[in-house]
Amino acid sequence: MRRLGLVIVITGAAALSYHHHQQHHNYITTSNSLLNGIVRSSRSLYTITANVVDYKYSLHGLSEDDHYTRILSEVHLRSAKRILKLCQINQGFYIKAGQFVASMRQVPKEYSSTLVSLQDQAVPCSFEAIKQVLINNLGSDLKQIFLSIDEQPIAAASLAQVHRALLKDQQEVVLKVQYPGLKDRMRMDIATMSLLSKCVTWFFPEYRFQWLVSEFAEVIALELDFIQEAKNSVRAAINFKNNSRIKVPKIFQELTTSHVLTMEYCKGRRVDDLDYIRKSGIDPRKVAKVLVEAFAEMIFVHGFVHGDPHPGNILVSLDEKHGFCLVLLDHGIYKNLDEEFRVNYCQLWKALVFLDSHKIQQLGKHFGIGKYSKYLPLIFTGRTIDSKAALGDGMSVEERTNLKQEVKSLTFGDVSEFMESLPSEFLTVLRTDALIRSLVSKLGSSQRVRLLVYANYALDGLSSKPDPGSSKYFVLKAVWTKIISRINHLQVRLLLGLLQLFSWLRDTRKSLVIWSKQISLLISRFVSHNYSVTLT
């Protein structure tokens, strides 16, 4: 009761601040920064406390049945709406935090579907403030560098905005300019989020969100350093130098600082702009395949993964040779996968293809998730660990029923334990995969395509050169290991080839059925029309 009383007192105090807030300008003077931070923190405290109390007492005493599931979904939705409102008012890092949560498949769908609207809600900053950042970073006389700078931004995100410009040598570039005062606000906002997550855990031990705050803090720290983003961009360009379907804009290093990034201007439209894609004569499904192949190559082969592939960061650009190419933007958030993790993740996908439950659980223990390893096939392929379904096929009715019963027994504590146990690399690939999966659906492509591409690139990631040693024994052993590896590789390739063939035949059959129905309808109309003409 003492804890509940404290929650109520804190909630009441924070609510006063929350309900008496005034719209404030994003870029305020230093004397008002502290007050602004207190007001933002108070709103956060009120929102989180209200959500926790809602969960705790709405679900109190309910049994694990369909009624409980319905009530839980309603609480999820109410809580997600409160967080959405908080992010919309606080702006800045809160918008980014909301986007971060929306991109994670591990959160309830009520959160992801509600918070996804934050993707396009950043408020642009005045050009005067942006110009001052440019002067502070590039020099007082911008006319010595640029012929012109477009004052109207072509894009505005939660941490920076982008302006087109023309260099003195007529090269067209874009300037990504960080909003002023972000680092100070970041420290206060992250500290607030961390404190709140710890308070929630203290009041209600089964609700643990510190892993989420830690992951978000790491992501934000990366995204605020534009020099590191420039390095990431250069490295990504090198990784894809032999892939003509993927383009990474050139970086102008001499015009790049920690707060300003200058890069080549690339034409294109967002990857989810289906009207543009179709009007350009491009098959959206081909776009989806190239997209999946690019990110599969990053994850399984390069071990250097773009961590924020939302639609605004990927452009479809017309290309004379191939019809189109994809332009990858915003290279601030990258995860450099540990080599051991990358190889084991490739092994995991090989095991997922064959539904090798023993290997899956063995790798799960290695990743540190123990008893939750059995859910890995469900997370990545939509199959249970005991499923007999082909890769890309849905679960049977019996499997769905059994899974539903099993999931009912999971608590918030189980979910928290699972997420806390995941390595940071695993969280990155899960988040990236969730965003790619969403884009694949929007582009009208089958998830089977994604699964087959992942499986193929996982095999490529496992291909390694023999490890020559000074001893003939070790050389022969390495060669023999390589031969065995190649045989296994060919076996899996054959299986994937058959799966791809069956997938193609299935899609072709569907197309033929639709085509035949359309022909039959046309013939029927033609006969009906001629018959009516004959009668007249």
Paired with 232 in beta bridges are: none
278, with CB counted inside 10 A (0-12, 13-18, 19+), is exposed
Distance CA 495, CA 451 (A): 13
Distance CA 232, CA 47 (A): 36
DSSP secondary structure letter of residue 174: E
The question of whether 308 is a catalytic residue gets the answer yes
CA 166 to chain centre: 32
The Cα-based distances of 435 to 104, 338, 401, 441, 496 in angstroms read 8, 22, 28, 10, 24
Distance CA 443, CA 452 (A): 17
CA 373 to chain centre: 22
Helices (H), 126-209: 127-138, 182-203
Distance CA 221, CA 232 (A): 14
Distance CA 489, CA 131 (A): 56
Nearest to 188 by CA among 302, 39, 66: 39
| All residues at 6 or more sequence positions from 201 whose CB lies less than 8 Å from its CB, including other chains | 207, 208, 209, 210
Half-sphere exposure of 484 (CA within 13 A, CB side): 6
Q: Are the CB atoms for 457 and 492 separated by under 8 Å?
A: no
Q: Are the CB atoms for 161 and 125 separated by under 8 Å?
A: yes
Catalytic residue among 189, 272, 308, 433: 308
Give the DSSP letter string of 66-107.
HHHHHHHHHHHHHHHHHHHHHHHHH-THHHHHHHHHHT-TTS
Half-sphere exposure of 181 (CA within 13 A, CB side): 18
The Cα-based distances of 103 to 282, 436, 523 in angstroms read 27, 10, 48
| All residues at 6 or more sequence positions from 251 whose CB lies less than 8 Å from its CB, including other chains | 230, 233, 234, 261, 262, 263, 264
For the record, the structure tokens of 287 come out as 């776009």
| Residues marked as catalytic | 308
